[in-house]
Structure 1
Amino acid sequence: MFKWLKQKSLLATSSIVLSVLFLIIIAIMATVMYLAQKEAAYHEFEQLGRTLRAQTQANISVIEPMANAVNSGQPIPDNEGSITKRLLNGMTDDDTITNAYYFSAKTTSLNGSHQLYFLQISDSFGGPETLTAPYEAGSIIFNHFDEALSGNHGLSAPFEDGFGTWITYLAPILNVKGEPIAVFGIDFDYDKVEARMSTMLLRAVALGLIAAALAIGIMIPLLRLAIRPLQNLRNNAKLAAGGDLTASVPVTNGNEIGQAAESFNEMIGSLRRLTINIQQSAREVGDSSLNLKETATQTAQATNEITESIQNVAVGTETQLISSQECQTAMTEMAVGIQRIAESSGVVSELAIDTAKLAAEGGIIIDRTTGQIERLEQHIIFAAESMRELNEYSNRIGDILSHISEVAGQTNLLALNASIEAARAGEHGNGFAVVATEIRKLAERSRESSEEIAEILQAISTRSGTLSKSLETSASEARECTSLAGGSGDSFRSILVAVEEVSSQVQEVSAASEQMSASSEQIAATLEELARIAQTSAGHSQQVAAASEEQLASVEEVAGAAEQLRTLASELNTAVSRFRV
């Protein structure tokens, strides 16, 4: 919001601020007026209720018999009923009162709700069915009813029932002893009250808006007159920003705006004098920088020639130094390498001797291993042949068991026939029947045993076949191991011969390396002396070349600074020339 206002003109900003202030004032005044009107209306309702309650209390002689009749469950007398009806209808003739009624002091409760009973109601409230029916009271009206029976009177908070939204005035009706026997009540239609106050509020807001519009309409011309000198100051400031320093602002008053105009005129005068001085200084600086540049250019050319000659000498010396250092480094590295070769040759010679010993020992172990593998092969072959013979024996036993099983079956059959014949012989064949039964049982057990033995032999035959194949495989692998062991023995013997030859050659290389190491150390010492001499010469040449380069760089910097100074003076002169003084 504030950023948006900053982008607006002073007149627009002032108008917006004044409008907002007027709207805030109108809103505050309307709220105060609404609350004041509401309080006045409530006060008016309460005063009216007090007056009508006094009128009701004056007719206690008519109301008391009605209250006694309702409390005792008897019908209300017609005479008293008609009098109170006219009295209540007269109260509702006032536009602000909607309903008027008398409550009995009797109350009941049904399903958690409170019920009140009418003594009499105005015609605006309803007919006889409303009078005789119990009135279901909400919490607000019931609590207000209890306060009235306690001797208090006043307006209730707005509440809603089946008939509408109301503000109710309740007050106790006292007998001659000062005891409450009934409650007097009048209803004010809350919607009508709100509508009347809203209408008054709208009128007040409308009047306030009209007054604000008139005030703003008067203030805008006055603001325009007040800020007109500021507009002149702004226009002249734009001319000055564009380069016109001849403009001035007329001073018409002595307020803050007039003081700002005087300060602006003084600033323009100071800028005019400053611009003239800058133009003169820029021309003088341009001429001086041009002379300085020419002198620096000539000096730079002479220094450049000297520098080139010295650099050629320095380059040659440095090349010689680098070559000497490279030779020295190479010889040093060669000497170190020869020394390492000699050391490595000694280590290799020792390793070759150890390897020859290990190769001889390995050959012996391979020969022993070959013999053991050959003996293992013979044992495996023998075991495989034994397993084959065992398998054949198992097959023969199986054949024999088959015959035994057949014999047992036939014996069982003969025993069965013998039992049948013994049964035919009667008592003389009983002993023979017992013998035949026992023979049949023995034959049955023989058959079962032969079957179990056949199963066991079948399992043995299966395992024997598997073991036989495994032994044959092991025999084949043993033969391969024997062949490989024989080849390994030949390889170890070849390795032993080769290692002995390597050991002899390594010893010869070690002796030659020691001789080369001594020679390379002498050459490295000579190259080191040459490098020291070349380094001294190169150092002097580099110092002279560096001094010449520094002098050349200084001269070039002076020339560059002179050129920059001339350029800046030209730019300054161009920038100042756009100002009209």
Structure 2
Amino acid sequence: MKEKNRVMQFIVIGTLVLSLLVHAINRFVHHSLMEHEVMHSAFSHGFLDQMFFWTPIALVITGAVLSRLHAEHAWIPLVHTLSLTLCSMSIIAGGKGMVEYHFSIFMVLAILMYYNNIALLLSSTVLFAAQHLLGFFFFPELVYGSKVYEFTMVAIHLVFVILFIGAVMYQIIANRHATQRFEKEQNQKLQQTVKSIIESLAHTSQEVQRNSSGLSAQSNELNRLTMEVVHTMHQVEQAANDQENGVEVSRKAIGGMLTDICHIAENSASASELSDHAAHEAEKGNESIQLAVQQMQSMHQAIHTTAEKVKVLGERSQEINQIVNLITDVASRTNLLALNAAIEAARAGEHGKGFTIVSTEVRKLAEQTSESAKQIAELIEDIQMNNQASIHSMDQVIGTFAHGNEAVVSAGHAFERIRGSIHSVASQMRDISGTSQQMSANTQQFSASMEAISLLSSQLTDNVKSVSKRTDEQDTLINKASDLADKLEEHSHTLNEIMMKTKHTFSLQ
């Protein structure tokens, strides 16, 4: 019904468009109809004219809204019937009642046959009959195009419409009877076919049920055997894993020991090289110590010589100080004599003026000499003080150097003993290095053997795991086969129930 309503919706819209075109053509295009309109000037396009124009539009919109809200609404066929009927009436009214437009009645009735519904056809027929009768008595211009129209023509119209509807109704009823007979024959054929199918399915279902039961029993037995194999393989796998783990632990321990031995060998070789290098350096150190002893003795002699010279310098400084004291005394006396000479020259007056100048210069020289002697005395005093400090320092250096010389000599003897010990250690380290290298080579051979054993254990474990995995997969497949057998048996029971229901539905014996 939904598809019929959708198709009729398009046809109704097309019929409405046709009605609007008829109104447009007769109102605005065909100017030749003006004389006809003048002859019937008494005709009024009033309320009825507008009603026939707008009512189909309203019904078409109503049908579209109903189809939009609910495509299978029960009122949609009736609304489409009313829309088509009133569109035909609108076409007749828009065409000024021209007899040609009355053929739209048969077009509408033919369209309504699509619903195959007698009630809808009768409804449309009653409406058309009412239009013609009411039009004949009250508004003939709107239906027949003239104020005067013979009732005979009206009766003829009604008779042909009734004959058309009668023929259509007869065809619909005959078609229904033929359809019922055809459906009855088809139902009988269908019952026979279904009966044959049910019998075949029943036989097949029994075979499937019997085979599925046997398959289920075999699957259970095979599943039990497989579980035993899986249990055994898991034990073998566990033993292989334990063996592989033990070999792996041994391999790691040997690998660690090999690494340690290699480190020992490397360290022994390095220590041997370092011992040889230390022995060589000890030889050089001994030579350096002996050279240092000789240099210390030379420096000790040089320091003694320097100390003697410093003492001599102190004695010479004292002699210079005595000479400076003598010069100071001479300068003092010279200054005194120059003063006396100046006094005597002053007494001599003009005759002693030249002597006064000489005595003055002599006094100045005496003063300068005295001042220089003082400066020299101060310098000599500083030199003596520094010399005393130098003598004291040299005494300390001599004492310290004596102790250092003894320490260097002792260090030389100790270094000689160290050199002998280093030579002995170097010889022993060479022996240890050779032994470590031999041990490293033997351990490497043992590690290679353990690697081979570990590889074989790993391969054995992989093979056991592969077999165990295949066994698990086989167990899974067996379980699936068992489940499938159970499902087949279940489907067989379901199929039997369906066949019983089908027999009951089709009343098969």
Which structure features the higher share of strand residues? 1
Higher helix share: 2
- Say which structure, 1 or 2, has more relative contact order (CA 8 Å, 6+ apart): 2
TM-score, normalized by length of structure 2? 0.43
TM-score, with length taken from structure 1: 0.39
